[in-house]
């Protein structure tokens, strides 16, 4: 079993690489947002707690998120776990470390997907996705073969995120670096941090990550 944390700003390619690890290694991607949405409608005791908090408009506590992760670690039969969007703070990093230790699990790597901000802005502002199958495209690096039509499912429902503008992205980048910089130092001090070039071609990034992780 391989367990890994993916760190990187919005648009660094974490989602793409996580999907490849899921497909190639039978790992499970633990995305905080996805887990909260799933829990809210699950009907479990933890799910009812999440629903109550979210319905009140309150912030979900670290304890609840850790509880959801603990449930996944116990119930998912996986080749490992990819932690995506968690931890975001030093307190969360400590809590995750304690949970993994309690479950007798290792954290095999913390992979930082490094990017140049200016190049990242270009990458993000040209990005659009298929609203039906989720396939991701780009105006210059990966346009659709037929204008306005998804290559994968032939849908014409192609969308751009409202926050994929240069101004919105720079705000998101500032927030990411403010929150995440302490985590970089935290995991570096533990000898767990490894960096890859997030702006390299997708297959090169996948190859670099494959060399970091233990063989499947």
Q: What is the dihedral of CA 30, 34, 38, 41, to 10 degrees?
A: 160
Are 216 and 27 contacting, i.e. CB atoms less than 8 angstroms apart?
no
Q: 3-state DSSP: the chain helix, strand, coil percent, rounded to 5?
A: 50, 20, 35
Tokens representing residue 94 in the block: 């400590």
- Phi first, then psi: give them for residue 47, nearest 5 degrees: -65, -40
> Locate tokens 């506590």: which residue?
61
Cite the active site residues: 14, 88, 127, 161, 172
**How many whole angstroms separate alpha carbon 182 and alpha carbon 129?**
32
Are 99 and 73 contacting, i.e. CB atoms less than 8 angstroms apart?
yes
**How many whole angstroms separate alpha carbon 101 and alpha carbon 107?**
9
């Amino acid at each position: 079993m391989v367990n890994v944390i993916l760190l990187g700003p919005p648009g660094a390619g974490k989602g793409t690489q996580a999907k490849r690890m899921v497909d190639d290694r039978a790992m499970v991607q633990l995305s905080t947002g996805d887990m909260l949405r799933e829990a809210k409608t699950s009907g479990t005791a933890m799910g009812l707690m999440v629903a109550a908090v979210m319905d009140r408009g309150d912030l979900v506590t670290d304890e609840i998120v850790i509880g959801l992760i603990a449930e996944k670690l116990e119930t998912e039969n996986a080749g490992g776990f990819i932690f995506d969007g968690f931890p975001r703070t030093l307190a969360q990093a400590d809590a995750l470390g304690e949970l993994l230790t309690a479950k007798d699990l290792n954290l095999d790597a913390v992979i930082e997907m490094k990017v140049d901000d200016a190049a990242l802005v270009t990458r993000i502002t040209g990005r659009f996705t298929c609203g039906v199958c989720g396939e991701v495209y780009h105006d210059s690096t990966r346009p659709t073969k037929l204008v306005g039509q998804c290559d994968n499912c032939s849908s014409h429902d192609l969308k751009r995120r409202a926050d994929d503008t240069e101004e919105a992205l720079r705000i998101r980048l500032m927030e990411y670096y403010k929150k995440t910089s302490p985590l970089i130092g935290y995991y570096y001090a533990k000898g767990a941090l490894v960096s890859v070039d997030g702006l390299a071609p997708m297959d090169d990034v996948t190859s670099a990550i494959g060399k970091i992780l233990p063989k499947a």
